[in-house]
Amino acid sequence: MSRKAFAMVAISCAALLPVACSEPPPETRAVKITGTASLPDGTVPDGTLHVQAYHASAGAGHLRHPLGELGGFITQPEAISGSVSYVAGGGEGLVIHAWLDVDGDGVHCTPANRAEPAGLTVVEGFPADEVQVRLTLAENCKSASWFFPPVAAAQ
Amino acid sequence: MTGRLSDCALRLTPVLLVAAVLAACGGPPPEPGVMVDGQRIAVIDVHLHTGTWENTPPGFRKRLTDRIPRGFKWVMGPFMDRALSARSILGQLDDAGISGGGVFALYSPHTTGIAPNEFVSAQIAPHQERLYGFASLRVDDWNNSSVAELARLEAGVQMPGMRGIKLAHAHQQIRFDDRRFDGIYEICSRLQKPVYLHTGTSPNPGTRTEPPFADPAYLEESIKAWPGCTFILGHTGYDTFNKALTYVDSAIALAQRYPNVYLEPGAMGAERADEVRVDFFRRVKSGGVIDKMIYGSDGPQFPGYVDSHLKAVVAAMREIGYTPGEMEQLLSGNFLRVFGLPPIEVGGGS
C-alpha cells in the first residue's frame, strides 16, 4: 500500500470512529393522568396536590429496582390533570404517588409540620396514553417507598 | 451494550498502556501531610468511592460520559474500573500526601449504582492500614427485605477492613424522617460502627433534591433516639445541585446540639464549590464545630481530584485564619478520635 493510500485509509478510519460506538437518541412518550384524591373518609381536601409518577420497576440485573422515577406535576385533588413524559423502554408498570400541600410551602412535611397526607396507587393497564387514578391520602409525610412495593402476601 | 463495550475495550488497550507508561514515569510522591506554619499535619480522607462500570446505572454513565466526544464514550468503562480500584485510590492518596482514606460500599441502584460490601472489603483488605471500609445495604424494597438487608449490613460491617456504615438517603430515595430505617442506627450503636450519611443534594441523575431527602434536620428524631450511634453528616448539607449552602446551617446546628453528630466537607474543595467554599469554612469556624468536622473529598472522581480538593480546602482554611491546631483536628485528628485509631506520624509534625 502506498503512503498516500495508507494516509487515506487512516483518515477515513479516524473520521468513522466518532460514529462507531454512538447510539440513537431515546424514544420519548407521554402519559396523561387524570382522576381524584380524597381523604380516608371520602372528603376531598383543600390544598394543592403534588403528583409523582414512577415505573413500578426499572433497571436490569443487580440494578433492577422498584420505583423508577418518571416525573410529576402539581394539580388539584378534586380534578387531577397532568402529563408526564418518559423514555420508552426505561421500565415497566406505572405507580402514582401524591401528597397534599396543606400549608402551601411546596415541601412534603417539615420537622415541625407533620400533617400532610400522602397516598399511592398502582395503575393497571399501562402502557397507555391516558390513565385514570383514584388516590386515598391516608398517611402523613410518607414517600412512595413507604407504600411500594407493599408487603408481599406470603410474609 | 456489553458486547459493544467489549469490542471497544480492545481498542482501548494501547491507550491504557500509554497511560501506564506515563504514570510510571511520574516522580516520587510528596511527603505525607500538609505543611502549615512549619508544622506537618497528617491528612485522612474519609470519603472515597470504588465500584465498577458494570454496576453503574445508565443515567449515571451518561453523566460521566457527557463531556467525552461522541464515539469515544466507550473509553469511560475501562477507565472507571481502573480509576476506582484500591491501587489507583492509593496512588491518588500518595500523590496528595494523604495517609489514609475511607472507601464506601454503595447500594443506590436508582442513581450512582452498586459497590457491594464484599467487593469493597476485598479491595481494601490488603491495605487495611490505610483504607477503611464502610458497609451499606439495599433499601429499595424495605417492606419485604428489611430483615435480610439488616443482616447484610451487620455482616458487612464485620468484614475485613470495615469500620463504618454508609448511607445516601437522596441517592437511595428514602426520607431522613422515615423511622423504618432506625434498625440501621441500632446496628451502628450496638457494634460501634459510625454511620456516614450523604446530606444535601447532588448533581447525579435520579437524586432526590427535596428537603426531606436532603436536609439533615429531618434526621433529628433518629439522632436523639440513638445517642450511642455516631452520625457523620456527609457534605454538611451542601446543596451541590444548586451550588448553594442551603442546608449547611441545619447540619451545623445538629453538630452543635448533639455530641454524637459529626460533619464532613465532601466536594467542598471541588471546582463546583469555588463560589461558596470560603463561606462554608467560615460558618464551620464561627459555629464552633471544627472539632466535629472530619475531612473528606468525595474522590477519586478523576486523576488529580483528591489532591486538588485538599489544596483548595487548605487554602480556604488559611484564608479564614484556621490555626494549625484547628486544621489538624479537621484533617485527621477528629477522624482518628471517632474511629479509635492511633495518631499518625508524619515528618516534622503530628
CB contact under 8 Å between A18 and B71, yes or no, is: yes
**What radius of gyration do chain B's Cα atoms show?**
19
Statement: residue B149 has pLDDT above 90: yes
CB contact under 8 Å between B114 and A62, yes or no, is: yes
The nearest CA of chain A is from the CA of B343 a distance in Å of 39
B30-53 burial, b at 16+ Cβ within 10 Å, e below that, comes to: eebbbbbeebbbbbbbbbbbbbbb
Q: Where are the alpha helices (DSSP H) in chain B?
A: 2-24, 58-65, 76-83, 86-96, 117-124, 142-156, 169-172, 182-191, 211-214, 220-225, 248-257, 277-286, 305-320, 324-328, 334-338
Q: Looking at residue B68, what is its pLDDT? A: 84
Instruction: Report which residue type is found at B42.
Output: A
pLDDT class for B10, splitting at 50, 70, 90?
very low
Cβ neighbours of B113 in A, within 8 Å: 63
CA angle A54, B217, A38 (to 5 degrees): 40
Task: Tell me if chain A has a CB within 8 Å of the CB of B70.
Answer: yes
Closest residue in B to A147 (Cα) is B143
Average pLDDT over residues B12-33: 58
pLDDT class for B284, splitting at 50, 70, 90?
very high
CB contact under 8 Å between A111 and B69, yes or no, is: no
Q: Where are the beta strands (DSSP E) in A77-144?
A: 80-87, 91-92, 94-101, 117-123, 130-136, 139-140
In chain A, which among 86-125 make CB contacts under 8 A with chain B? Answer: 107-111
Instruction: Report the residue of A65, A70, A108 to disrupt the B interface, i.e. the one with the largest count of B CBs within 10 Å.
Output: A65
The answer to whether A87 and A26 are in contact (CB under 8 A) is yes
Least confident range of A69-73, B67-71, B73-77: B67-71
Q: Per-10-residue mean pLDDT for chain A, 155 residues long?
A: 66 58 79 98 96 97 96 98 95 98 98 97 96 98 98 73
How is domain B9-21+44-338 classified at the CATH fold level?
TIM Barrel (3.20.20)
A38, containing H or E segment: strand A28-38
Average pLDDT over residues B314-337: 98
Q: Looking at residue B348, what is its pLDDT? A: 62
Give the span between the Cα atoms of A144 and A97, in whole angstroms: 6
Give the span between the Cα atoms of B166 and B262, in whole angstroms: 14
The nearest CA of chain A is from the CA of B326 a distance in Å of 33
The nearest CA of chain A is from the CA of B241 a distance in Å of 17
Which residues contact residue A19 at a Cβ distance below 8 angstroms, ignoring those fewer than 6 apart? Answer: B70, B71
Statement: residue B131 has pLDDT above 60: yes
Give the span between the Cα atoms of A65 and B344, in whole angstroms: 42
Burial of B202 (0-12, 13-18, 19+ CB in 10 A): buried
CB contact under 8 Å between A145 and B142, yes or no, is: yes
- Residue A87's DSSP bridge partners are A28
Average pLDDT over residues B200-226: 96
Statement: residue B15 has pLDDT above 60: no
Report domain extents, chain B.
9-21+44-338
Give SS3 for B28.
coil
Q: Write the pLDDT tens digit of every residue in B23-52.
A: 444 567 788 999 999 999 999 999 999 999
Neighbours of A117 (CB within 10 A): 23
In 3D space, the residue among B126, B98, B138 whose CA is nearest the CA of residue B335 turns out to be: B98
Task: Tell me if chain B has a CB within 8 Å of the CB of A25.
Answer: no
pLDDT class for B67, splitting at 50, 70, 90?
confident
Closest residue in B to A55 (Cα) is B110
CB contact under 8 Å between B144 and A17, yes or no, is: no
CB contact under 8 Å between B212 and A141, yes or no, is: yes
The sign of the CA dihedral B206, B207, B212, B218 is positive
Average pLDDT over residues B80-105: 96
Give the span between the Cα atoms of B60 and B109, in whole angstroms: 10
CB contact under 8 Å between A146 and B180, yes or no, is: yes
Q: What is the DSSP letter of B344?
A: P
Burial of B150 (0-12, 13-18, 19+ CB in 10 A): middle
Q: Write the pLDDT tens digit of every residue in B299-323.
A: 999 999 999 999 999 999 999 999 9
CB contact under 8 Å between B70 and A22, yes or no, is: yes
Q: Looking at residue A155, what is its pLDDT? A: 46
Mean pLDDT, chain B, whole residue set: 91
Give the span between the Cα atoms of B231 and B240, in whole angstroms: 20
Give the span between the Cα atoms of A41 and A49, in whole angstroms: 18
Of A63, A66, A146, which is closest to B57 when you measure between CB atoms? A63
CB contact under 8 Å between B212 and A108, yes or no, is: yes
- Residue A53's DSSP bridge partners are A71, A96
Cβ-Cβ contacts under 8 Å between A and B: the total is 82
Q: Looking at residue B61, what is its pLDDT? A: 87
Task: Tell me if chain A has a CB within 8 Å of the CB of B180.
Answer: yes
Give the span between the Cα atoms of B281 and B274, in whole angstroms: 12
Give the span between the Cα atoms of B132 and B125, in whole angstroms: 9
DSSP letters spanning B44-110: EEEEEE---STTS-HHHHHHHHTTSPTT-GGGHHHHHHHHTSHHHHHHHHHHHT--EEEEE-EEETT
pLDDT class for B53, splitting at 50, 70, 90?
very high
pLDDT class for B75, splitting at 50, 70, 90?
confident
pLDDT class for B347, splitting at 50, 70, 90?
confident
Q: What would the 3-class secondary structure string for B258-269 be? A: CCCEEECCCCCC
Q: Measure Cα distances from B307 to B97, B101, B303, B313, B331 in Å.
A: 8, 13, 9, 10, 13
Cβ neighbours of B143 in A, within 8 Å: 149-151
B198, containing H or E segment: strand B195-198
Of A20, A63, A69, which is closest to B109 when you measure between CB atoms? A63
pLDDT class for B6, splitting at 50, 70, 90?
very low
CB contact under 8 Å between A111 and B113, yes or no, is: no
Give the span between the Cα atoms of B42 and B343, in whole angstroms: 9
